[in-house]
Every structure is written in C-alpha cells, then in structure tokens.
C-alpha cells in the first residue's frame, strides 16, 4: 500500500480526530494534512504550487468553514489549471439540496453527508479510501 496525501479542510476538532482515526485504521499510510479554515486551505494549495511540492491526491472539504466557506474553496480549486484535477469530496454535515446542487455545479467530485454514528463514519471513510485509492485511477498516480 503506497502513501496517499490527503488535505482535510475541517474546523471541527472532533471530526478531525475521527477522520484521522478512521484513516489510521483503514489506510495507515495515508498522510493527512489538516487546515481549519477555507483561507488556509487555499494558502496551503498555493504554497504547494509555489514551492513545487506535491499537491494532495484528494481533498476532503467541509462547507461550513471560517474565513472562506467550502464552496468558495471548491471554486478556487476547480478554477485553477494546476489544481482542478485534484478530486474534491465535500464531506459535510449539510444535507441541503442547495448545497449539494451548488457543489456539483462547481465541479465537486463527490458529496457525502457525514453520518452521526461513529461506525457509519468509519465505513464512509473506508468507502472513500477504497474507491479513490484502490478503484479509481487518479491523475498523475
């Protein structure tokens, strides 16, 4: 199993810990970098480009974030020639039809409403890992 670089954009510390625990159990080679607001996510990605370091292979993006919301971050990513091929999964508590429609209109690769149950959350992370890192062929990998 090879190392996988993931950017988690999440301001809820509990969800950050839960996501880290789930990946540690499911794919211990996942390298999870965490930023807690939308502006920091954009800065992180732009810094990767500026320093010519490796961009993440996958972005897990919450919608309700300080400084820039997830929809704004998604637009920045998908409007950048250098970032648009990074798969972005909206992983959020919102099940609003408006949020779902807006995410897909701005080219989100997937929209998942976070389950409340811990076991269900681990299952979702397992499906994300299985699909994006085992079944799908990622650009440049």
Domain contains 101: yes
Enclosing domain of residue 121: 4-135
How far is residue 94's CA from residue 137's CA, in Å, rounded to a whole number? Answer: 28
Write out pLDDT tens, residues 17-64.
999 999 999 988 899 999 999 999 999 999 999 988 889 999 999 999
How far is residue 49's CA from residue 127's CA, in Å, rounded to a whole number? Answer: 29
Q: What is the pLDDT at residue 28? A: 86
**CATH value at residue 122:** 3.40.50.2300
Domain contains 18: yes
Domain contains 125: yes
Domain count for the chain, please give it: 1
Give the mean model confidence (pLDDT) for residues 112-116: 95
Nearest-5° Cα angle at 63, 54 to 41 = 30
Write out pLDDT tens, residues 6-19.
999 999 999 999 99
DSSP H helical ranges for 27-116 = 38-50, 70-78, 97-105
Domain contains 141: no
Tokens encoding 81: 């020639």
pTM of the model: 0.94
């Amino acid at each position: 199993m090879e190392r996988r670089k993931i950017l988690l954009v999440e301001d809820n510390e509990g969800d950050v810990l839960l996501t880290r625990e789930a990946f540690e159990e499911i794919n211990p080679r996942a390298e999870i970098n965490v930023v807690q607001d939308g502006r920091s996510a954009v800065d992180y990605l732009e810094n990767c480009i500026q320093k010519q370091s490796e961009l993440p292979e996958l972005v897990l993006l919450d919608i309700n974030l300080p400084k820039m919301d997830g929809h704004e971050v998604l637009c920045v990513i998908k409007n950048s020639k250098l970032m648009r091929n990074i798969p972005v999964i909206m992983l959020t508590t919102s099940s609003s039809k408006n949020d779902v429609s807006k995410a897909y209109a701005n080219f989100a690769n997937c929209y998942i409403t976070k389950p409340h149950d811990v076991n269900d959350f681990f299952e979702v992370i397992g499906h994300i890992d299985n699909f994006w890192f085992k079944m799908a062929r990622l650009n440049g990998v």
